[in-house]
Amino acid sequence: MKVLYIKASPKPKDRSASHKIAEAFIEEYIENNPKDEIIELNLTEKGCPYVNYEILCDLVERKGLMVKTANKFMEYDKFIISSPMWNLSIPGILKSYIDLVTVKGITFEYGKLGIPVGLAKGKKAFYLGSRGGGYPFPLSLITFDMKYIKYIFRFIGIKDFKSFILENVDKSPEKIKQNFEKTLKEVRKLAKKF
Ligand SMILES: Cc1cc2nc3c(=O)[nH]c(=O)nc-3n(C[C@H](O)[C@H](O)[C@H](O)COP(=O)(O)O)c2cc1C
């Protein structure tokens, strides 16, 4: 299996809450799936351009960055995404990546009745998120980080989607620190089933 690890936080590994939990997840995953190939895509290190007019013109001719990135995306069987919540949503760079891979004719198409059909069928995804605050119901209704990734992945055909979100990272840092081993244990348990 080919696994793509998409990392959205611009912070270095040791300072990023989302990356720390994703690292434990990946470590456990490798232990259980030693033959799988895991490729890390650190979006801020690699850079991810906004879709501009030139990129859109290339797309009309079925070439360029969107076609290339979407085709590359389709080579993977599984996706692990780690991301902080930014302004109730995901960092812009992760949205830019989604804009590059959501391409008609590659990751989705329109069916006979005009209904969109995902082409990335049979693939799996796991989202590991961190949030500065806590969002119990009804505040959960205004969170658009994990929810957005879940539904855009569903749009392109990835229905097998699971997530783990660490909340209150900034609100109660001491508590988070105290419980971190327990958190990592929980994350490792989920990785075993992915
Ligand atoms: C630009 C920016 C916007 C943020 N917006 C939110 C927010 O809307 N809600 C929230 O709970 N935390 C917010 N945070 C806090 C982060 O979600 C939190 O610190 C998270 O744990 C960071 O993950 P990381 O260490 O992996 O980067 C924001 C942080 C930044 C830098």
Q: Which of 87, 144, 168 to mutate to test the pocket of ligand 1 (most atoms within 8 A of CB)?
A: 87
Q: How far is ligand 1, taken at its centre, from the CA of residue 132, in Å? A: 5
- The type of residue at 148 is Y
What's the pTM value of the predicted model, to 2 decimals?
0.97
pLDDT value at position 72?
98
Residue written as tokens 């997530």?
Answer: 163
In the chain the domains, ranked by start, together with CATH numbers, are 2-192 (3.40.50.360)
Q: With beta carbons less than 8 A apart as the criterion, state whether 54 and 19 touch.
A: no
Comparing CA positions, the residue from 50, 137, 126 lying closest to residue 83 is 126
The overall average pLDDT reported for the chain is 98
DSSP assignment of 115-147, as one string?
A: -EEES-TT-EEEEEEE-SS---TTGGGG--SHH
Sorting pLDDT into bands at 50, 70 and 90, what band is 27? very high
Pocket perturbation via mutation, ligand 1, pick of 131, 144, 187 by most ligand atoms within 8 A of CB: 131
What pLDDT sits at residue 94?
98
Report the C-alpha gap between 188 and 55 in whole angstroms: 40
As given in the structure block, the two tokens for residue 124 are 């799996």
Atom of ligand 1 minimally distant from the CA of 89? 8
Q: In the 8-state DSSP scheme, what is residue 14?
A: G
132 lines ligand 1 (CB under 6 A): yes
Rounded to an integer, what distance in angstroms lies between the CA atom of residue 93 and that of residue 44? 7
- pLDDT tens for each residue of 120-152: 999 999 999 999 999 999 999 999 999 999 999
Q: Within 13 Å and on the Cβ side, how many CA atoms surround 148?
A: 18
d(CA 187, CA 130): 13
Q: What phi and psi, each to the nearest 5 degrees, are found at residue 53?
A: -65, -40
